[in-house]
Each structure stands twice: as structure tokens, then as C-alpha cells.
Amino acid sequence: MQLQEILYSQGFGTRRVCAGLVQQGHVQVYPDADASTPLACTDAAAEFNAPGLRFRVQGAEWRYFAPAYVLLNKPAGTECSQKPSTYPSIYTLLPSPLRLRPQKGAVQGVQAVGRLDQDTTGMLLLTDDGKFIHKMSSPRHHVPKVYQVTVKHPLDARQVQRLLDGVVLDDDPKPVRAAACRALDEFHLELTLTEGKYHQVKRMLAAVSNRVEGLHRSQIGALTLPPDLAPGQWRWLDAADLQRIATVA
């Protein structure tokens, strides 16, 4: 693949802009996977084997991903929307190439796989793989998601059992059940869900006469949020991570 096409596919601008970055000496390419020093390349049409290619653009390190899979530790006070209404968008936490990766249709860049409320923190996946988004969002696939819940009122065994047995939400006569649920202490609950209804955790706790005071997603499938990934930080997901996400606990 030509270097300008590689840059274009990774969100560094139009083909003309990408060609200009190369011709102006802003791009260096690592000759092989083990190389420690990249080599300058000013030929926009130079051919490279794209998968796994490492390169620098204006001093920043990048690796070719097609498609891209990203994990973000979502901080509180952010919205999972390209056009937020009140709080800053989570997309401002990502570098511009991730936001500008070309896609078919009007939407550009990686998209959140589902949404977390503005006050909810923790594990959020983003990708430009539409099939992955559909698979992860569909309740038919039953991908477990684990939440750490802080509640307002003391928990009791009856509330935990009701969450396991199923509660009825106001817009759906079919009971919604937790796949797993355990009280960590009087005011903290670990809750596992396999579907993602609107405000589901908050509404489930309201249905058992309690109230969510804090909500944090710590795990999707068998992949847990890395302890060294601070709120607002992101990292690439590799094949092993994707396998853990697809593993049903």
C-alpha cells in the first residue's frame, strides 16, 4: 500500500494532505518490527506492507490498525456523543487521527460501542468496525458487563435477590435480571448485566427501592479495565484483548 494511502486510512487527513506530510519530511517509517530508529521517507507513493507497520507522523508514534479498536477509561463529566449538550465529549480525549479515520457514509472516526451516562466512569470501547459495534450492542450475544455500584441506602439480601430474580422497568413488562450480583459491603454492589437498556443500572436499583450514587464499569467479557490506565487515558486493543472481550464469563 502506498504511504499516502496508509496515512489516509489512519485519519491523517485527505490524500493530498497525507502526501504533503510525506513530501515535507514529517513522516518516518520503521523498516521492520524490531527496528528502534525510523527512517525518513519523502516519497508519498512508496509501497509498504501495511499490517503491523510502525511509523511516526510529526514526531508522534503510530501503528497501522485496520480496523481500530480502542479502550478508554471514561472520566466523570463527559458525554458519549459527537455533539454533547452539556458536558465535554469523550471524543475530545482522543487524538485527531482516531476521530478522522475515513468511513463509508457521513460518520467519521471511531465510535463508542454503546454509551455510558455522563456521570458513569470506567471501561468504554471505541472502534470503526461496524460489525463489532453491532455484535457488542446486540442483547442476543449476551456479552457480560460488570459494574461497581455505590448506592445511597444500605443494601440487604432481599434487594440482591430481587436483582437476580428480575425487576420490571416502566417501559418493558418483561423482567430484567442481573447475570450476577453481590454486595461488596453495605453501600457497594458488583452487578453484571448482559444487555444495555437506557439507564438500566439506575432503574434496576430504583426498582428495589435504592438509588445509585456512583457507577463504574470495570469489565467487559473477560477483559478488565487496566489499573494503570488513568481516567481520560486510552490504549489500543490487540487480538488477545478482543478475545477476552468475546469470552463470556
Q: Which residues are catalytic?
A: 117
Question: From its phi and psi, is residue 24 left (phi > 0), alpha (psi between -120 and 50) or beta?
Answer: alpha
Extract the runs of DSSP E, i.e. beta strands, from 21-171: 27-29, 39-40, 54-57, 60-63, 69-74, 111-112, 121-127, 145-151, 167-169
Q: Which three cell numbers mark 173?
A: 413488562
H helices of the chain, in order, are: 3-9, 15-23, 96-100, 130-137, 157-165, 200-207, 239-246
> In Å, how far are 66, 153, 189 from 192, measured between CA atoms?
31, 20, 10
Residues sharing a CB contact under 8 Å with residue 14, sequence separation 6 or more, in sequence order: 8
